[in-house]
Structure 1
Amino acid sequence: MSKIVLGFSGGVDSAVSAVLLQKAGYEVHGLYLDNTDERTRLEAVEAAARMGIELTVIDVRQELDEKVCTPFCESYLRGETPNPCILCNPAVKFRALLAEADRIGAEQVSTGHYARVENGMLYKGRPANDQSYMLCRLRRGQVARVVLPLGRYEKKEVRALAESFGLPAAHKPDSMEICFVPDKNYVNWIAQRRTLPGPGDFVLHGEVVGRHEGIFRYTVGQRKSGLIDGRKVYVSRIDPAGNTVELALWEELFKREVTARDFNWLIDVPSGPIRASVRVRHTKWEEPTCTVTALPGGGVHIECDEPVRAPAPGQSAVLYDGERVLGGGFITDAK
């Protein structure tokens, strides 16, 4: 029986993953990454005990702060829109899982992500719950050791499986979006860690049209409340140096060219342009085809066949070949 280390929280996804892995013949060892409160940790410990799973608990607060929280904070203050899960997965979560696997002599690790790994390659999960976007920065060596048992299921099917397995987690609410911001108020969270910039100007087509309450409250593509000259307007650019939020009309948000830095390739770096499709945010519906060119210094230039809505600096541009993930990098610019 092969050992496998499963990221285990006691929620429905990790609990069903544990049962599916056991049914597939694995000896499941759970790993709980402790970064919240004692109640949540005890719930995971109790769930593992009920399921007969050996559970190791490790405190990842320091690693999370260094690799995720601090970059998250700094990114927002640069006027960007970071995705903390994309930062966390390779640098904290999967790194910890693989370290524990090496410690106990397990070849593979697992999580409850809705994506697939086949023959060392990362693929989309079912459209309704696909989380492959969030895994775009896993290294090829990490992907090669990953098993994702939920990749062929939708969330509603996983809850039905939990019911059939008699798991109390069947009706447990989904986990919070940002695990280190328990009240979901990231503005207050940033304010406790950094001195925040003050109010500044809203600018539309070169003219000041109002005042904003701080650049960290906005993201590219977000609608501004109210109307200007009877029309809806949206955030198109955030300028931290000038402390301004630039606005645009809906039709002005769409861009054909996107540049991304620090691209993590899950294939050999292409020597010339390749065809792919791209997601510029975690979405189910927007994935235009494009031509991609690798740039010196580790970036990429993406030219979309159809304009893509509001690519936001700091978000990830993730490339696909059909259902296969080719890699992802951080958006720096769009035009």
Structure 2
Amino acid sequence: MSQKRKRIVVAMSGGVDSSVTAALLKEQGHEVIGMTMQIWDYASFTSGHGETFGSCCSLDDVHDARRVAESLDIPFYVVNFEKDFQQAVIDRFCDDYFAGRTPNPCVLCNQVLKFELLLRRARELEADYLATGHYARIVAEGDGYALCKGLDPAKDQSYFLYTLTQEQMERVLFPLGGMTKDEVRAHAARFALRVAEKAESQDICFVPDGDYVRFLEEERGAGKMDGEIVHVSGTVLGRHCGTYRYTIGQRRGLGIAWPSPLYVVGIDAASRQVLVGEKEHLSVGSLTLHGVNWSLSAPEGPLRAACRIRYRHQEVPSTITPLGGGRAQVDFDQPQKGVTPGQAAVFYDGDRVLGGGWIE
């Protein structure tokens, strides 16, 4: 080995990425401990919904993680974060939708569950690092660290990790950040891992069938957010059965007649109105963020950066102005469509993440 043996906890989700992460680190000679988060009462979920999870974090995934750990001959633990997940992710998910926002639960899960709670558990085991299967890189930079994109642009997950602090990056490893998915699957086959060909999850883990409206109504009840569909001109065009059924940019399912195509351009939860307008009404020149995290210290004044307003959004040149109190304003060089309250906006300088925050 070219480096000193370390004790490393690997966040094992039961998928191919985290399994290969554990296998590679053990191959390098490190002391590896597998740890899986139980974030849901699976018995309660299946009895209440008549189905099993079909995405990440399912009971099958826990079993897969355990079997992989056994095949690698490493210790394995399941940590129960059900209450934390309910409070930090699910409650926030519901709160956002009922407040007219479209949430991004994966950012919160990474921020709170993995890199606060799980990292704390790793430190309690006197581990040197927590490793995950994310496609991103942490690069030493001067006296600190920089979060950078994964080298595979199709798999880069840096957008979901912008909340990482300097203290966390010092204790976190992303061994797959320099690999492609094909390379990772080749490693999985080389290690003869049972999950080598396992399909990737695509859905929100706690809404496996994709029916988030049903999930919200089971959590909070139906009929509380019914109201009017209103054109930007002020004309009432019809009624809707819940503001949480709509998101910015939505065109289908409006159920109203108009001479030209209409899109959802705003949601006013206080008045329970869904605002619609023509395509040109979707474009905005700026946005405001709260809960901003800077990878290093906040800049003293405006700075130029590329801004990504959704995971699959093409970054656009922008001016970012800190406003104090964890807030910032983003002014786009060119107006952008589909700016959605509740989503994250992340700033980049090339491959390097400068920071990000929640769209107001």
TM-score range with shorter-chain normalisation? over 0.9
**Partner of 1:318 in structure 2?**
346
**Partner of 2:54 in structure 1?**
none
What amino acid is the match of 1:171? E
**Partner of 1:210 in structure 2?**
238
Paired with 1:204 and 1:159, the residues of 2 have a C-alpha distance of 50
Deviation at 1:228, TM superposition (A): 4.3
Kindly report structure 1 stretches of 4+ aligned residues shifted beyond 6 Å.
none
**Partner of 2:37 in structure 1?**
33
SS at match of 1:257: strand
Deviation at 1:191, TM superposition (A): 1.4
**Partner of 1:12 in structure 2?**
16
What amino acid is the match of 2:328? V
8 A Cα contact 1:13 1:112, kept in partner: yes
**Partner of 2:195 in structure 1?**
169
**Partner of 1:66 in structure 2?**
87
What amino acid is the match of 1:240? A
Query: Which deviates further from its counterpart, 271-280 or 141-150?
Result: 141-150
Match of 1:246 among 247, 270, 275: 275
Paired with 2:194 and 2:164, the residues of 1 have a C-alpha distance of 31
Q: Are 1:55 and 2:76 an aligned pair?
A: yes
Paired with 2:73 and 2:249, the residues of 1 have a C-alpha distance of 47
Match of 2:334 among 283, 286, 306: 306
Match of 1:291 among 309, 316, 319: 319
**Partner of 2:289 in structure 1?**
260
Deviations 1:113-150 (A, max 9, x none): 11111112111112101111111112221122111111
Paired with 1:302 and 1:198, the residues of 2 have a C-alpha distance of 31
**Partner of 1:150 in structure 2?**
176
Paired with 1:305 and 1:261, the residues of 2 have a C-alpha distance of 21
8 A Cα contact 1:90 1:139, kept in partner: no
What amino acid is the match of 1:20? L
Paired with 1:156 and 1:256, the residues of 2 have a C-alpha distance of 39
What amino acid is the match of 1:89? N
Deviation at 1:30, TM superposition (A): 0.9
Match of 1:122 among 147, 153, 158: 147
Paired with 1:184 and 1:177, the residues of 2 have a C-alpha distance of 6
Query: Which deviates further from its counterpart, 92-101 or 314-323?
Result: 92-101
Q: Are 1:328 and 2:350 an aligned pair?
A: no
Match of 1:276 among 302, 305, 316: 305
RMSD over equivalenced CA pairs, Å: 1.7
Equivalent residues, number:
331
Q: Are 1:98 and 2:119 an aligned pair?
A: yes
Stretches of structure 2 that go unaligned for 5 or more consecutive residues are: 43-58
Change in CA separation of 1:161 and 1:248 when aligned onto 2, cut-off 3 Å: farther
What amino acid is the match of 1:154? T
What amino acid is the match of 1:106? A
What percent of counterpart residues are identical?
42
What amino acid is the match of 2:129? Q
**Partner of 2:47 in structure 1?**
none
SS at match of 2:332: strand
Stretches of structure 1 that go unaligned for 5 or more consecutive residues are: none
Deviations 1:199-256 (A, max 9, x none): 3222222212222221111111122336743432211100111111111222321211
